[in-house]
Structure 1
């Protein structure tokens, strides 16, 4: 196959990944607590051809000796960008939004692979019956159980009268009998978002097959570390997707895609001309 075709084909496949990332960002522009992904690219291996046998004849040359042929580019990373999204007031007791960009709630998810722990910025919480008429469980909009500082689901017992979420992430449930039940919401501070895996719109997980430890990627804010928590009740965080930027990036990638496709067409035409020479 023509070298130009190989290079262009390699790059086309990687540009498709960037298109997918941009499309996912745009699709989640209205998803609460969503964090956009940003892709970066690196060149594939470059082949060096030393076509000049006598380097002495190259004295005064302004460019490096030989010929370098590339093989296209590859997407090296798709990283979560944890910039703070704007806050919108809802005046709802079960809505909470972080005011620091690195903080995430801890939730429990369940799928065909089993039960696992995930992390989200979506603070739109709800109460759902547990099957016991005297108990209510705190969950997200997707039905995932919200965990406390001990990684246990938050279960509120008794007849509920009022709910208050403090700045440091403490949930206080006032009962009709005057008693108060308190929980510390499970919160982590993610230091290295590049190691986190996105499993749905606003849910992140920590892959267990990486050669890093959990404490290198995020800190669990318990005990004295809870003073680092900063959230506000009655508000939700919008996504940090800038729609105008995403559309500009989309146009640029489409132009690059067209350029690589045109390179394949030109290489095919050149091969046809060579094969037609008699």
Structure 2
């Protein structure tokens, strides 16, 4: 296999990953609060051949000295774009959306490996009955919404109205005239590049987080106590995804053209090798 084939094969695998990222963005264009991902590339190692024996001949040269031969490119990062999505009015009392970037609801995930806290921008809340007089606040997928102390939110008694304030308070009006006030658990993400998608429109820390050597407080901050003044939330609306369909389709076409070009390079390299091997 010649150098052209090696370089092309390396690049084809990375272009496929970029197409997968774009396809995932397009598939989630209608997902509430979804944040698109963007792929960035970097060059692989390259070799430089010094073909000029006399250094004086290279004076005032604007391009790098010698001949550089690369080995392709690789996907260096798939970063979450935190740009705010458009708000869609629903007039539903248990719908809420953030109006500032980087703020997320905390939810509790329980599976066979135990429980863990994940993050979501999906503010479409629902109530699931626990007993005859108690209900729990959950997401559309049934995950528990947490309060500022990372405890599930239980609503007792008969409720007749719900209000979600700008600073993230849930006020439940009871039929007996009393009120139940709960502070929703909100986190501010400062370094989204350390988070990974966990499915079901959730974000969380990677499994190898302990090996990264980064303190958790450097990645996100829990907006509790005086920090709750930073929360910006609106009731009766939902945040749409920040996926721009024309932009994603244009990017997908460009990646497909690059993929076709790289595949064509393999065909040409194979034809050249066939010509060389056919020389007698």
Distance across 2 between alignment mates of 1:179 and 1:144: 27
Q: Which residue of 1 aligns with 2:133?
A: 134
Aligned twin of 2:154: 155
Report the secondary structure of 1:105's partner residue.
strand
- Counterpart in 1 of 2:31? 31
Deviation sequence 1:36-89 (CA, Å, 0-9, x none) = 001100000111222444434555655433221101000100011011111111
> Does 2:205 correspond to 1:203?
no
Q: Displaced runs of 4+ in structure 1, greater than 4 A?
A: 56-62
In structure 2, the CA distance between the partners of 1:45 and 1:182, relative to structure 1 (3 Å rule), is: same
Query: Corresponding residue for 1:251?
Result: 253
Shift of 1:137: 0.2
Is contact 2:141–2:200 with CA below 8 Å preserved after alignment? Answer: no
Checking the alignment, whether the CA contact within 8 Å between 2:11 and 2:73 is kept in structure 1 is yes
CA gap of 1:112–1:69, structure 2 versus 1, over 3 A, is farther
Unaligned runs of 5+ in 1: none
Which digits, 9 at most, give the CA deviation of each residue in 1:243-262, with x for residues without a partner?
00000000000000000001
2:200 and 2:84 map into 1 onto residues whose CA distance is: 16
Preserved CA contact (<8 Å) 1:31 1:201: no
Per-residue CA deviations over 1:202-238 (Å, capped at 9, x if unaligned) read 2110223332111111111000000000111111011
1:86-112 deviations in Å (ceiling 9; x for gaps): 111111110001100111000011234
Which of 251, 271, 276 is the matching residue for 1:269?
A: 271
Task: Write the distance in 1 (CA, Å) between the matches of 2:133 and 2:255.
Answer: 55
Change (3 A) 1:151 1:61: closer
Q: Do the aligned partners of 1:28 and 1:201 also contact (CA within 8 Å) in 2?
A: no
TM (norm. structure 2) is 0.95
Unaligned runs of 5+ in 2: none
| Paired position in structure 2 for 1:166 | 165
CA 1:61/1:167 → structure 2, altered by over 3 Å: closer, same or farther?
closer
Distance in 1 between residues matched to 2:275 and 2:196, nearest whole Å? 48
Match of 2:233 in 1: 231
CA RMSD of aligned residues (A): 1.4
Distance 1:40 1:238 in 2: 24
Structure 2 counterpart of 1:83? 83
Q: How many residues are treated as equivalent by the alignment?
A: 277
Aligned to 1:16: 16
> Which range moves more in the overlay, 101-110 or 140-149?
101-110
Is the 1:12–1:257 contact (alpha carbons within 8 Å) kept by the matching residues of 2?
yes
Supply the distance in 1 between the matched residues of 2:158 and 2:215 (Cα, whole angstroms). 42
Q: Work out the CA distance in 2 between the residues paired with 1:30 and 1:104.
A: 18
Per-residue CA distance 1:112-141 (angstroms, 9 max, x = gap): 4331111000000000012x2211000000
